[in-house]
Amino acid sequence: MFSAQRRLCSLNSTAKFLTINSSKILGLPTSAMSLKITNAKRIEGLDRNVWIEFTKLAADPSVVNLGQGLPDISPPIYVKEKLSKIAAIDSLNQYTRGFGHPSLVKALACLYEKFYQNQINPNKEILVTVGAYGFLFNAIQGLIDEGDEVIIIMPFYDCYEPMVRMAGATPVFIPLRSKPVNGKKWSSSDWTLDPQELASKFNSKTKAIILNTPHNPIGKVYTKEELQVIADLCIKYDTLCISDEVYEWLVYTGNTHLKIATFPGMWERTITIGSAGKTFSVTGWKLGWSIGPHHLIKHLQTVQQNTIYTCATPLQEALAQAFWIDIKRMDDPECYFNSLPKELEVKRDRMIHLLENLGLKPIVPDGGYFIIADVSLLDADLSGMKDSNEPYDYKFVKWMTKNKKLSAIPVSAFCNTETKLQFEKFVRFCFIKKDSTLDAAEEIIKAWTGQKF
């Protein structure tokens, strides 16, 4: 009956007029389903998401959650106070400028000019987005086409791959590989890219490389030499660099965060991401920004005006005011950009110590707020875990959450399907947690080490 109707529809307009009423006359079911109600091809295979799965697991309040990267410490008081005052100002409850609230883009320009040694045009070279996540989407949709290749360094923040695929492009993966450590402490700086292997990934179809420094999940802070290798290849192959620097302020003693956009030849081909959530410990504000040359930013602006149009006004104003406070005292230890990494370094060291006590092999991160650790030495008995097709670390984390009430994130979630096995013995712990959370984790670990498996 349905196909008969369709044939009728392709006839002339008289027939079409009849068919409008035919369904009623013939008493056909009017809620016939889903012949065409199918998803667009661009999202095929992108429905699974590690966070949805694991945050559900860790939602049990008796679990100590060291999984998802969200602080359970309070943001700085002045940040909260600013937002509170602003919500009372009428005009700040209405739409603001689509590409970024004026006072915020001015503050960002003023801050970042210190690093770029160029003047930054707040209206043309900055875009405010819905978190750094939203920025990644704008950049990939704006600049990556079907058939392009994008180089992704593994392990990678998990959204890079699905976003690249959603744009119809092909991700090309290259793993960070560890040097042998020979007794000394394993550091994130031991994980490097092989320059020749990296060069072999570039070709004329390579549109962009996504760089993440400081790196999630390993915590690596790329050195000048390492960035120079990447820069040279970008220039040689006329490639874009999307530089995810959300953890830019979180670098620990002995390390310096370097911006690849400041390297010779790179400003014109790099977009750099920042995040309010990671800068001021306010992940729920979902504000991020991108900085780059206008000929790149304008395409991200086009995506913005066709997706969400503008970001929330009161949050942007509050962020601007918080920035002004810290911009004025950048050399002061009280400046949040200085005080937060100092606070986190202590927590990092504590977490490393705890994981070592547990018998794990943690990799000391030079930046960021995660530690990954090799859990294979524990030789936990996971035979009771269902779904034996899952990588080892998925099973380990589920087992640990269920039996030890401690949650983390499996590092193979940050790898593509083919290379999950390379990282399946690693698990990621987040340490931007208040002392009582770390105390609770310590209790669990103490009890664990007293038990047999």
Partner 1 sequence: MVSFNIFFCPLCFSNPVARSDPDLVLARSSVCGIHTLASEPFFGQSVLLPLLCLWRSHQCPKALGGMFRNVAAIYLHLAGLFQRKKAGTSLTRCMHQTFAMAKRLQARRLDGIDHNPWVEFGKMASEYDVVNLGQGFPDFPPPNFAIQAFQLALNSDFMLNQYTKAFGYPPLTKILASFFGKLLGQEIVPLKNVLVTVGAYGALFTAFQALVDEGDEVIIMEPFFDCYEPMTLMAGGRPVFVTLKPSPTQDGELDSASSWQLDPTELASKFTSRTKALILNTPNNPVGKVFSKAELELVASLCQQHDVICISDEVYQWLVYDGHQHISIASLPGMWERTLTIGSAGKSFSATGWKVGWALGPDSLLKHLRTVHQNTVYHCPTQGQAAVAQSFQHEQLHFGQPSSYFVQLPQAVRRYRDHMIRSLQSVGLRPVVPQGSYFLIADISDFKTQMPDLPGDADEPYDSRFVKWMIRNKGLAAIPVSVFYSTPHRKQFDHYVRFCFVKDESTLQAMDEKLQKWKDELRP
Residues within window 363-422 making contact with partner 1, judged by CB under 8 A: none
Among 4, 32, 377, 447, binds partner 1 (CB under 8 A): 32
Residue 119: phi and psi, rounded to 5, are: -75, 145
The encoded tokens of residue 219 equal 């915590």
Query: Interface mask (CB under 8 A) for partner 1, residues 105-134, using x and -?
Result: ------------xxx----------xx-xx
The encoded tokens of residue 314 equal 């009161």
Check binding of 171 to partner 1 (CB under 8 A).
Answer: no
Continuous H helices in 265-407: 276-279, 294-305, 313-327, 336-357, 392-404
By CB under 8 A, the count of residues binding partner 1 is 107
Among 1, 4, 6, 179, binds partner 1 (CB under 8 A): 6
Q: Among residues 55 and 223, whose Cβ is nearest to partner 1?
A: 55
Check binding of 240 to partner 1 (CB under 8 A).
Answer: yes
Query: Interface mask (CB under 8 A) for partner 1, residues 259-298, using x and -?
Result: -----xxxxxx-------x---xxxxxxx-----x-xx-x
b/e burial code for range 301-314 (CB count within 10 A of at least 16 → b): bebbeeeeebbbbb
Check binding of 26 to partner 1 (CB under 8 A).
Answer: no
Q: Among residues 119 and 383, whose Cβ is nearest to partner 1?
A: 119
Spatial separation of the C-alpha atoms in residues 137 and 124, rounded to whole Å: 19
Spatial separation of the C-alpha atoms in residues 305 and 407, rounded to whole Å: 39
We find the least distance from the C-beta atom of residue 111 to partner 1, in angstroms, to be 16
We find the least distance from the C-beta atom of residue 352 to partner 1, in angstroms, to be 24
User: From the CB of residue 195, how many other CB atoms can be counted at a distance below 10 Å?
Assistant: 15
We find the least distance from the C-beta atom of residue 409 to partner 1, in angstroms, to be 14
Q: Among residues 163 and 363, whose Cβ is nearest to partner 1?
A: 163
Residue labelled with tokens 């307009």: 13
Distances (CA, A) of 114 to 51, 109, 111: 36, 9, 6
- Report helix angle 2-9 to 13-25, nearest 10: 160
Check binding of 306 to partner 1 (CB under 8 A).
Answer: yes
Pseudo-torsion of CA 181, 186, 189, 190, nearest 10°? 30
Check binding of 87 to partner 1 (CB under 8 A).
Answer: yes
Residue 153 near residue 212, CB atoms below 8 Å: yes
Q: Among residues 299 and 350, whose Cβ is nearest to partner 1?
A: 299
Q: Which 34-73 positions form the footprint of partner 1 (CB under 8 A)?
A: 34-37, 39-43, 46-47, 49, 51-52, 55, 68, 70-72
Query: Interface mask (CB under 8 A) for partner 1, residues 195-234, using x and -?
Result: ---------x--x---------------------------
- 319 three-class SS: helix
We find the least distance from the C-beta atom of residue 314 to partner 1, in angstroms, to be 6
The encoded tokens of residue 304 equal 């913005």
